[in-house]
Amino acid sequence: MLEFDRRAARDAIASATLTLPWDRRGVTRQRVRLDDGREAGLFLPRGEVLRGGDRVATADGVVVAIVAAREPVMRVTAPTPRDLARAAYHLGNRHIAVEVVAGGAALQLERDHVLRAMLEGLGVTVDEIEAPFEPEAGAYGGHGHGSSHRHPAATLADRLRATVHAGADRDD
């Protein structure tokens, strides 16, 4: 069995791929099956989070590319940047992993009927889709290799601040 115990450069040539959903890309010690069917083990340092495009390697140099699996997510859009920022704030306040997509025009998060009802109550549109899920690392998360404690609203707020403060769709 192959044992992947280190990261490789993102531009390293990979001999295979490993497709994992978000909830398994933060598990540092696990048995996996490469996309070509071979069994392998991940033995990475605790706290590591794999992102689509990352590379892991064995001690003897076998490199595998990580692929973010398509999975059930909710895509959130809003009529104004302010409404989207409000939705991000409420999700961040609940420490929900959120991905900013579509150039900052939408959010993605794991499906949850309670969150869906909350979001719809805020007046945003929620669509259920299948897509790779790459949530924001958070204000203190760097490249996602640190704490799993994320604050997605802070990063979205940075992305939307110019639009909201420029007076777009302000109602004050």
Residue 161 binned pLDDT confidence (cut-offs 50, 70, 90) = very low
Nearest to 73 by CA among 131, 116, 153: 131
Please tell me which of 104-113, 140-149, 154-163 the model is most confident about, judged by mean pLDDT. Answer: 104-113
pLDDT in tens, 35-56: 999 999 999 999 899 999 999 9
Helix (H) or strand (E) holding 32: strand 29-33
pLDDT in tens, 68-91: 999 999 999 999 999 999 999 999
CATH number 2.60.260.20 given to 2-68: yes
CATH number 3.30.70.790 given to 70-165: yes
Query: What is the three-state SS of 111-163?
Result: CCHHHHHHHHHCCCEEEEEEEECCCCCCCCCCCCCCCCCCCHHHHHHHHHHHH
Residue 20 has pLDDT above 70, yes or no: yes
Tokens 């598990």, located at residue: 27
Among 98-102, 106-110, 117-121, 150-154, name the one with the lowest average pLDDT.
Answer: 150-154
Edge-to-edge, what's the strand order for the sheet holding 55-57?
6-8, 55-57, 63-68, 16-20
- Report, as an integer, the average pLDDT of 89-102: 94
- Report, as an integer, the average pLDDT of 3-12: 97
CATH 3.30.70.790 intervals, the chain = 70-165
**Cα torsion 108, 114, 119, 123: sign:** positive
Output the pLDDT for position 141: 58
CATH 2.60.260.20 intervals, the chain = 2-68
- Report, as an integer, the average pLDDT of 132-160: 56
Q: Rounded to an integer, what distance in angstroms lies between the CA atom of residue 89 and that of residue 106? A: 13
Residue type for 79, please?
P
Q: Rounded to an integer, what distance in angstroms lies between the CA atom of residue 58 and that of residue 43? A: 10
Q: Rounded to an integer, what distance in angstroms lies between the CA atom of residue 131 and that of residue 68? A: 9
